[in-house]
Structure 1
Amino acid sequence: MLGRMAEPVHGRPAAPTETTISSANWDSRDLTSENHANVLFVDVDMTEAGGVGAAFTDCTFRGVRFNASSHTDAAFLNCTFVRCGFFDAEFSGCKLVGSQFDSCTYDLLKVDGGDWSFTGLQGADLSRAAFKDVRMREADLAGARCAGASFRGVDLSGSSLRGADFSGCDLRGSDISGIDPFTAELARAVIDPFQAVVLARALGLDVRD
């Protein structure tokens, strides 16, 4: 199906797709070194799929189940995810630059390393997700629900964090210079001493030795 457009996500149109894969069973599929571009995946079961070095470019995933899948050094560049499930999925050293997420579920999602810059996760419920040593520069996390989540060593510089809920979230080692303590919820969040100084200055306090 040539030139099919998926629905916009957060006002941004998804990349046009040229082929469609619908209702396929990719359960436990080895995705190692597979390369897909401009593909629309609809209701595809990728449960426990995984591999090393897979590449998806300008693809749209609608209703795809990534549950318990494991991806290493994979790339999902400028992709769109709509109503997808990421229960217990793992992404290690993966690039998801420019990808957009809408109405997805992320329970027990684990992200270790990689580049998630410019991703759109507005309003996402990440309360049971864990991000470690991930680059998330200029990501959109406005209104994201991250209470109780873990963001350890995450580069959030330039990210949109307005209205995000980080209460009880482990933020140690992350760049939180973009968090406005007047608009984000930070009650009981776990931070390190350096971050405490950053937040104190954001509150207009004069920090001295």
Structure 2
Amino acid sequence: MVRTGTGRTGGGGGRAGAAVKGARRPQVRLPALEPHADAGLEPDGDYDGVELRDLDLAGQDGGGARFMDCALTGCALDETRLRHTRFLDSVLTGLRGVGTDLAEATLRDVELIDARLGGTQAYGAVLERVVIRGGKIDYLNLRQARLRDVVFEACVLVEPDFGGARLERVEFVDCALRSADFTAATLADVDLRGAVELGIAGGVDRLSGAVISAAQLLDLAPVLAAELGIRVEG
């Protein structure tokens, strides 16, 4: 693969010679941060230039809050309600939790690093210039979400649901994508070639805006044959 000024080119998918537009990564430069003075979150709270470190935020309600130039480090988010929350120019590191509610949240210019999350509800969310690096996320619900300039890097995604979502300039780099569902999704400049594991449980017919490698095409052959109604016999 050869990186160009507009993205990556190469074979394995798409039109011969067509370029894949690469994702624009966030450039997050946090200012000097103040420790978060409280132990919890408030609905519609305004957090600017603070660090929330090693806090147990399980079950709390931060819906509608705004985090600007913030760092969340080592926090527990079990059943934490963050619906409609905005994370802007922030770094989220070592978050853990089950059932975190990020429905219709906005993440813009965000780095999510080494997360251990399960059953995260992010349907209808907007992700723009986001890097998700390391960690493992099980059963991520991104139905009807909008992802633009998003990079999944060196992470494990188990049964992510992209149903009805729009993905534009999204890259999967050195990550495992297991039983992903792209049903009714819209893809444009989605680069799957860097995925070390690629499993698709649904929506294989929606991959026209993605590029895959020749090896991945062979791996997906049984799924493609089933989608086309082709019977393969020895």
Per the normalisation by structure 1, the TM-score is 0.77
Which of 126, 129, 133 aligns to 1:122? It is 133
CA contact (8 A) 2:190 2:211 kept: no
Q: Give the superposition deviation at 1:107.
A: 1.1
Q: Distance in 2 between matches of 1:113 and 1:141?
A: 18
Q: Give the superposition deviation at 1:64.
A: 1.2
Q: Distance in 2 between matches of 1:54 and 1:11?
A: 21
Q: Distance in 2 between matches of 1:86 and 1:21?
A: 20
Q: Secondary structure at the match of 1:158?
A: strand
Q: Tell me what 1:19 maps to.
A: 34
Q: Which has the larger radius of gyration?
A: 2
Unaligned segments of structure 1, at least 5 residues: 1-9, 205-209
Q: Give the superposition deviation at 1:183.
A: 3.7
Q: Give the superposition deviation at 1:41.
A: 1.1
> Aligned AA for 1:18?
L
Which of 136, 148, 151 aligns to 1:140? It is 151
Q: Tell me what 1:6 maps to.
A: none
CA pair 33-181 structure 1, distance change in 2 beyond 3 A: closer
Alignment pair present for 1:190 and 2:202: yes
CA contact (8 A) 2:116 2:136 kept: yes
Q: Describe the superposition over 1:50-108 as per-residue Cα deviations: whole angstroms up to 9, x where unpaired.
A: 14321110100111112111122211111111111132101121111111111121111
| Equivalences for residues 1-209 of structure 1 within 5 A | 14-21=29-36, 25-26=39-40, 29=41, 31-180=42-191, 182-184=193-195, 185-191=197-203, 193=205, 195-198=206-209
CA pair 192-52 structure 1, distance change in 2 beyond 3 A: same
Between the two proteins, what is the percent identity of the paired residues?
A: 14
Query: Which stretch has the larger CA shift, 79-88 or 181-190?
Result: 181-190
CA contact (8 A) 1:171 1:191 kept: yes
CA pair 138-37 structure 1, distance change in 2 beyond 3 A: same
CA contact (8 A) 1:15 1:79 kept: yes
CA pair 78-196 structure 1, distance change in 2 beyond 3 A: closer
> Aligned AA for 1:169?
A
CA contact (8 A) 2:161 2:180 kept: yes
Q: Give the superposition deviation at 1:135.
A: 1.4
CA contact (8 A) 2:134 2:155 kept: yes
The answer to which structure has the higher helix fraction is 2
Q: Give the superposition deviation at 1:166.
A: 2.5
Q: Distance in 1 between matches of 2:28 and 2:208?
A: 40
Q: Give the superposition deviation at 1:113.
A: 0.9
Unaligned segments of structure 2, at least 5 residues: 1-24, 218-234
Q: Give the superposition deviation at 1:201.
A: 9.2
Q: Per chain length, whose mean CA-contact separation is higher, i.e. which structure has more relative contact order (CA < 8 Å, sep 6+)?
A: 2
